[in-house]
Structure 1
Amino acid sequence: MAKELSRNPTDDNRTLFVRMADSLRSDILANRMAPGHKLPSESELEENFGVSRITVRQALASLHAEGLIEKVNGKGSYVTRPNELPDMGPLIGFYEHMRKQGKRAVGRILSMKQVGAPAAAAHALEVSLGHPLIALRCLRLVNGKPFAFVLSYGEPALIKALIQEDINTNDVVVLLETRLGHRLKSNRIEARAIPASAALAKLLDVQRGSPLLRIDFTPVDVSGQSMVYSEMYFRGDSFSYKAVVKR
């Protein structure tokens, strides 16, 4: 797992701790150090990597700030579990948000097919235009009525894994973290109002031209990898979002 970091005259303390953190992060993300795994002691890490104690502590502090490890007083540092990361909000926690309001929320897969990445998906996922992706079309219903339409793009293996874990009753972020073991650090979100096209109006049972709330989101893991790009279209007469922004 740990390897001694080679030194040369150009290596400074920052370079060493970054390289050490990268090595440990790689082991965590690849599940070579599973959730709950206890890291070696600081002295062991110091010896294993051939670095100073201050370098070890800087590397551990970096991993702690990313939510990858937690320090237990008197016991050492442990790998965290993906679902211990901060909540990312009801905009992308749709099912849980609705269930907390006592509503029955389910999804229905309308279609799944391989496509060449369109411009928006290519930009969000940082792939070339036309790169092979799976396009997944889903309708979300609340208490049996159409509530939102979701168009998601992702690498074929990842989309198929999400479907296998039941994307009709679980939010994408929840599945990525708790079922598939990915560790997310952020979500890129953009929201705007649009008029319903004929196709969207039919799916959501509204009049053509009715206002819809479109929300695009892309979860990003701790390595900076964009996971899935989704366009969500909510009925304007059924959905509102409230937030408190703290300084």
Structure 2
Amino acid sequence: MNSLAFADAPLHHGPAAVRLYSRIREDIRARIVSGAWQPHDRLPSESELMARYSVSRITVRQALSDLQKERVIFKVAGKGSFVSAAKPFQELGRLQGFAEAMGALGHDTYNRVLSVATVPAAAGVAQRLQLAAGERVTEIRRVRHVGSQPVSLDLTWLPLGLGQRVAAEDLAVRDIFGILEADCGAPLGHADLVVDALLADAEQAALLGVASGAPLLHIERLTHGADGRPLDYEHLYCRADNFQYRLRLQRGPSLHKP
């Protein structure tokens, strides 16, 4: 593990209303995000941070405490603070299964299958899958894990014919996307996503190992086959502290003429 030093560049101060420890916290975070400080590197000591920023020990500790709560850093008794390993992440710009994406990054995954059931389609599910309201569908509820950590609660609905074939496979280790393509002869085409944030209710919190009211990233995803038919409708509830979704956006041609 390397002990880190600061470059000569000074701390960039924000608006006067921003608390000093917040500026220190964000400066440390920026160095980690930029890659200047790598996972498991040891941060400068509290005394070095105090001298660097010309602040009191309590101010430094507040900044470090915030970063520790966010799991950006971790502390080892008697040794100091260290940069945490980067969060696992999945690219939203690619249509791929969870295990497929995590495996490509070297992460081990497994699914805790909560239930697989045949249920009448609720109005919203039926509309998105282009079924009659009340028509039977397969509902699958899983908690997805990276290593030993739960990262998302996934609720999935599929048309009954496809759903029964998917349900017969090993959902503890396989992606539904992979099953659809490899076992059901249903190649995927595109997906429509809606992304927002919400607070975990009691059931979600218990399943994901977070406090009730903790922030979750919510993704509603409708996946279509190569022929355009809707195949898979999902609600994903993702922990914000140990998992990320990423997306690269390209700027298209300007709509305004010069």
Q: TM-score range by the shorter chain?
A: 0.5 to 0.7
Q: How does 1:85-234 map to 2 (within 5 A)?
A: 89=93, 92-234=96-238
Distance between the aligned counterparts of 2:186 and 2:224, measured in 1? Answer: 10
Identical-pair percentage: 30
* Alignment check: 8 A CA contact 1:218 1:226 kept: yes
Q: Partner residue of 1:13?
A: none
Equivalent AA in structure 2 for residue 99 of structure 1: G
Inter-partner Cα distance in structure 1 for 2:174 and 2:94: 13
* Residues 186 and 220, structure 1, Cα contact 8 Å, conserved in 2: yes
TM-score, length-scaled by structure 1: 0.60
Q: For residue 89 of structure 1, report the CA deviation from its aligned partner.
A: 4.6
Q: Secondary structure at the match of 1:153?
A: strand
In the TM superposition, residue 92 of structure 1 has moved relative to its aligned partner by: 4.4
Is the Cα–Cα contact under 8 Å of residues 214 and 234 in structure 1 kept in the other structure?
yes
Check the 8 A contact 1:173/1:219 in 2, yes or no: no
CA contact (8 A) 1:91 1:241 kept: no
Matches within 5 A, 1:52-67: none
Between the aligned partners of 1:149 and 1:97, the Cα distance in structure 2 is 17
2:11 aligns to what? none
Distance 1:185 1:98 in 2: 21
Match of 1:238 in 2: 242
Partner AA of 2:105 in structure 1: Q
**Structure holding more helix per residue:** 1
> What CA distance in whole angstroms lies between the structure 2 residues aligned with 1:102 and 1:224?
32
Between the aligned partners of 1:177 and 1:154, the Cα distance in structure 2 is: 14
Q: Which stretch of structure 1 is more off in the superposition, 156-165 or 195-204?
A: 156-165
Tell me, yes or no, if the aligned pair for 1:90 and 1:96 is still in contact at 8 Å: no
The alpha carbon displacement at 1:209 in A equals 0.9
- TM-score, normalised relative to structure 2: 0.57
TM-fit CA distance, 1:158? 1.3
SS in structure 2 opposite 1:175? helix
Runs of 4+ in 1 over 4 A off after TM superposition: 87-92
Task: Provide, for residues 218-237 of structure 1, a one-character-per-residue CA deviation record: whole Å limited to 9, x for no partner.
Answer: 21123321111111111111
CA root-mean-square deviation: 2.0
Question: In the alignment, residue 207 of structure 2 is paired with which amino acid?
Answer: L
Which of 222-231 and 172-181 deviates more? 172-181
CA contact (8 A) 1:186 1:221 kept: yes
Gaps of 5+ in 1: 1-86
CA deviations on 1:14-43 (whole Å, 9 max, x unpaired) are xxxxxxxxxxxxxxxxxxxxxxxxxxxxxx
CA deviation after TM superposition for structure 1 residue 184, in Å: 2.2
Aligned partner letter, 1:214: H
Q: Distance in 2 between matches of 1:92 and 1:235?
A: 19
Structure 1 residues 117 and 171, CA gap change in structure 2 (3 angstroms)? same
**1:153-193 CA-partner distances (Å, limit 9, x unpaired):** 11233122113332322322222223321122211111111
Counterpart of 1:199, as a letter, is E
Asked whether the equivalents of residues 147 and 204 of structure 1 are also in contact (C-alpha less than 8 Å), the reply is yes
Q: State the Cα deviation string for residues 92-144 of structure 1 (Å, max 9, x = none).
A: 42112212222211112111222111122112101122221121111111112
| Higher CA-based Rg | 2
